[in-house]
Structure 1
Amino acid sequence: MRLDFFDLQLFLNVVDTGSLTKGAERSNISLQAASERIKKIEQQFSVNLFTRHASGVKLTVAGQTFVEHSQQLLQQIQQLQQAMLPFSQGLRSEMTLWCNSSAQSEYLPALLPQYLIENPHVQIDLQEAESADIILALDKGTAQLGLISSFFNSNDLQTLEFADDPLVLICPKDHALKHQSALKLIDTLNFPFVGLMQYHSLQQSIEAQAKILNCAIQYRLRLPNFAAIAQVVSNGVGIAIMPQRAAKRLNEFYHFHQIELEGDWANRKLLIAAKNFDELPVSYQHFAQFLVSKKSLLTV
């Protein structure tokens, strides 16, 4: 069945004017063409939409029902046209994704190029923050979509599992801890560390855990990224904590030991979080669905 939106508007024009002649005039077509189009609709549905009389036309019960649905369909097509307008005019859709250090450096660089190539109208701004701050921003409505650590309480948000993201300790090959297979954070705090710069969300999280233990981390050096940390750790400068995914990648270039860290804060998952996924703008919903679809590719 093919339904012409012009015919629906013609039908409503006839209803509005109460006359086939006036309805045809409003639609800028001849009376004969209008009559044929209305007759075609009636034949499609095997109904009579109007009763004809000398002064004009009157709706049948079927016609009244057809009015309601015609109005809904025309409203929907107008909404569709408005939704497509930004794309047809080449306007860009801007989104902000809040994420922690690990998500920004280890997961998103592998995924975002594909999404951006498939959606050339989209622009994504990555806002790095500590998971607790992302949760607060989502709860307040200043953020719409975030990637957070499962260690933090996000019970007031909706979440979807994105990836396993455990933390590990790395140390030089000849370090005193090299024979350990697993450690608690408290077991490491007597040794000098190499860490990220203070503004990095992961470093803030590690320091928050040390503070809970009434300890302060001793830093020999702070660096801007995991690659720089791996290099100086391999040279014997100190120990460091980083995502297992980063350690595995960097161990191919630098020689160091990896040691499992115990505790919920270290054995974390990355979660996609929102206040309510169903209430997100369509662009954000589409992006969230893309991230979920890539979950199986993100093995540690």
Structure 2
Amino acid sequence: MRLDPVSLKLFVSVVERGTIAAAAENEHLAAAAVSKRLSELEDTLGIRLLIRTNKGIRPTPAGVELSTRARRALHELDEIAVHMREYEVGIRGFVRVHANISAITQFLPGDIKRFLGEYPNVQVDLEERITSAVTKSVAENAADVGIFSGDISDHDVEVFPYREDVLALVVPADHALVARDDFRFADALNYDFIGLHRGSSINRMLAAAAHDEKRTLKLKVQCTGFDALCFMVNSGLGIGVLPLDIARRYAVMFDFRIIQLADAWARRKIQICVRSFDSLPTAAKLFVNHLRAQPGTA
């Protein structure tokens, strides 16, 4: 039985993207070539790995197990290549980082710049993911380091404190809430909200806060990023919630007002997670230690 890295990489790509067409486009191959590789992989292993439906592809239990092991094997091969290239071009390490949008927009640009200034021969591969996907990626070894908001309980990972941020309400400039001196978050629940993409930690916090008030959060529109949310609020479609520092940056470009949230839930922990710190590659350990040592780290 011989397994080649190309077939494993294509298999992982199909599992992650859900369709052969999307994986083929990402890998710059013909869909038929990818499909042939997958069929040959199933024949080699003698087991069905994928279930094909009219909605796309999903892995069988054996396919889930293979995707986890294949990621690990491909990562080990990447590590070999990285260490061998040290002798040719001086690269000393490679760190895979998955982080949510709050961490990427508020803290990571400066922190990564300082890290690379100290370790110029380390390569940082940063991908944006929602919090639930960040912790899942780390648990499944698809990322070395994850940075997420809030707490987790569904994945076996090590967690370290990183930063804190505070959430704020953004409303159109002429909104009735602007004039309220005795503002409470419960007052905002009378209005339509512009939310972030499905699964975002801010959406979950808002839904939980509304539940505590025995109310329902009315999501009018859901957006894929902070800038889109600001455009929607600015147009008068509804109100939204952003990290306070981000809201202040966008306030320069948009005609909306910021209302700070005094509720305890509006102060969030931004945290770091890894599968096992002791098992991390050296470059990833250096990166985690660098993040934890930054001014303002919780």
Residue 183 of structure 1: CA displacement?
3.3
Matched, 1:246 2:246: yes
The answer for the alignment partner of 1:283 in structure 2 is 283
Where do residues 92-171 of structure 1 align in structure 2 (5 Å cutoff)? 92=91, 93-153=93-153, 156-171=156-171
Q: Which residue of 2 aligns with 1:217?
A: 218
Quote the offset at 1:108 in angstroms.
Answer: 1.4
Matched residues in 1 for 2:267 and 2:229: separation? 21
For normalisation by structure 2, the TM-score amounts to 0.58
Q: Which whole-Å deviations, capped at 9, do the CAs of 1:40-90 have from their partners, x for residues lacking one?
A: xxxxxxxxxxxxxxxxxxxxxxxxxxxxxxxxxxxxxxxxxxx97643322
- Structure number, greater radius of gyration: 1
Q: How many residues align?
A: 214
Give the direction of change, closer, same or farther, for the CA distance of 1:142–1:235 in structure 2 (3 Å limit). Answer: closer
* Paired residue type of 1:257: R
Please tell me whether the aligned partners of residues 104 and 128 of structure 1 are also in contact (alpha carbons under 8 angstroms): yes
Q: Which residue of 2 aligns with 1:176?
A: 176
Shift >6 Å, 4+ stretches: none
- Structure 1 regions of 5+ residues with no counterpart? 1-82
Q: C-alpha separation between the residues in 1 aligned to 2:138 and 2:83? A: 28
Q: Residues 133 and 265 of structure 1: is their aligned pair in 2 closer, same or farther, counting only changes over 3 Å?
A: farther
For structure 2, the residue ranges without an aligned partner over 5 or more in a row are 1-81
Post-superposition CA distance 1:11-32 (Å, at most 9, x none): xxxxxxxxxxxxxxxxxxxxxx
Residues in 1 aligned to 2:199 and 2:264: alpha-carbon distance in whole angstroms: 20
Distance (Å, rounded) in 1 between the aligned partners of 2:193 and 2:233: 9
In the TM superposition, what is the alpha-carbon distance from 1:118 to its structure 2 partner? 4.1
Displacement of 1:254: 3.1
The yes-or-no answer on 1:88 pairing with 2:70 is no
Report SS of the residue matched to 1:242. strand
Label 1:135 to 1:223 Cα distance change in 2 as closer, same or farther (>3 A): closer
